[in-house]
Amino acid sequence: YEHQDATLFASWGIDMIKVDACATAETAEVLMVRWLTELNGTGRPILFSNCRNGCLNDDEGADMQWQPWCTDTVNMWRTSYDIKATWASFLANLDTLKGRGTYGKPGSWNDPDILEVGVGEFVWDGTDAARDANRAHFSMWCMTSSPLLAGNDQRGAPEGLTSVLTNPKAIAINQEYAGNAGDLLTVFNSSAVSTSTGTLEIWLKPLPNDRVALALLNREADRTATPASITLELADLDPRFFGLGSTDLALGTLTCVAEDAWDSTTSTVNNQHTAEVPPSGVVLLVLSQCTAS
């Protein structure tokens, strides 16, 4: 019935299909390749999502090795279990993206599941804490080039919540690509000395035109906790991200313009940048116009 179903779906004008195939006896590759053929045969552009196994080894309890057929077969693949509307589930799904930035590319993307912005523990109650948590969730999906599928009820959504989901600077980060879908700073540079603890993280995504996006994330679940200092050392960043030579940093000072994606402020950063990040919060920056002297 797969040919019949694909033809019917296309006749309805659908734009996306997700194939799950729980308990199937076939390998994920066999199943997904067959559906790829059926969908392409309809003549309609349809986003093809693999919800089967995150494009890992079929034995998910084994070595969890990446399956290279995936990027040539589907447009997006789940990397995680189903997300729940909790801070802990958001973090767990985000963690499945660590080390996967090189896999995502135009036409094929990591998918940590639907956004829970405005739902459950992310419900919008008008407080700064709710704002911070929703911004953090949305920012991290943007930083990792993840699909932005809103999971909240759009009808009558609070203006503040809608402003999170429609932030043009965050969405621009999500939509741009320059060789990596986004990953932990320490994946790019294992010797980085910028802040990196079990609770505090820095994520990086290269952007076109000699720019870099950075997310300074405070994973602390207790929203009443005090903000934490997160320090970015510019020397941890590959100067080639900014169109500079590999030896330019030996000259001394690296100076960049930093724009905050949430408050739209800009500042000049010399060598390092420290931000006070609220619990369950993020600071989302774009660095540009970097020079070494």
Q: Give catalytic residue positions.
A: 20, 82
230 neighbors 218 (Cβ within 8 angstroms) = yes
Please give the Cα distance from 48 to 63 (Å, whole number). 26
- Work out whether strand 272-277 and strand 228-233 pair parallel, antiparallel, or are unpaired: antiparallel
Helix runs in the chain, H state only: 2-12, 28-41, 87-95, 128-143, 159-165, 168-175, 185-188
Q: Which of left, alpha, beta for 288 (phi over 0: left; psi -120 to 50: alpha)?
A: beta
Determine the residue type at 278: P
Report how far residue 138's alpha carbon sits from residue 170's, in angstroms, rounded to the nearest whole number.
8
